[in-house]
Amino acid sequence: MKYFVTVGERTVEVVVDGEAVTVDGRRTVARIDVVAGSPEVRVEIDGFASTLAVAGRQGTAWQLVVAGGVRDVTVEDERSRHIRLLAGAGKAVAGHAALKAPMPGLVLRILVAVGDSVAAGAPLLALEAMKMENELKAAGPGVVTAVLVTPGQAVAKGQKLLELGPQT
């Protein structure tokens, strides 16, 4: 399974195939142990061990505590990232953003309303396309300023579905 992990401005590609892990094309030896009953996680990569804690998670956005500092991390699988990029929601942006249909489909559910404040990775809308349900998510934080479709509505590829404005 392929994942894209973003910390700050840097995104790395992580491929997990059984016990084999490749990070940006370099094969590594990695192990993750979750400490039962605690937010603590022990990570070992190529013999280098580190302990971190999961402070929070919403959708693909994680807040990790490492060495006393909080780090915002985004983890997306390949399919979710592809759909997000097709939907026109590339990088998290401050200001106005539009969520567009990544492919023709049928709006199943609208998961937000005008005025809702959303975090990066928050689910916004469910779209059925090619007999699969796709959950479209926010690329960055914002406030829903317009919902332009209704459940049951057929939409074309590239059609605007909803709009986000900056959080105040």
CATH number of 87-165: 2.40.50.100
Q: Could you name the CATH architecture of 2-77?
A: 2-Layer Sandwich (3.30)
Tokens in use for 26?
């370099």
Compute the Cα dihedral for 77, 83, 89, 90 and give only its sign: positive
Please, are residues 137 and 80 in contact by the beta-carbon 8 Å criterion?
yes
Dist CA 87 CA 96 (whole Å): 15
Residue 125 has pLDDT above 50, yes or no: yes
Average pLDDT over residues 27-47: 85
Most confident option among 5-9, 40-44, 158-162: 158-162
Could you give the CA distance from residue 22 to residue 103 in angstroms, rounded to a whole number? 31
66 and 52 in contact (C-beta within 8 Å)? yes
Which has the higher per-residue pLDDT, 83 or 43?
43
Mean pLDDT in residue range 149-165: 92
Q: Say how far apart CA 162 and CA 29 lie, in whole Å.
A: 43
CA dihedral 87, 92, 98, 100 (to 10 degrees): 0
33 vs 152: which has the higher pLDDT = 152
Give 39's DSSP letter.
Answer: S
Domain boundaries, the chain: 2-77, 87-165
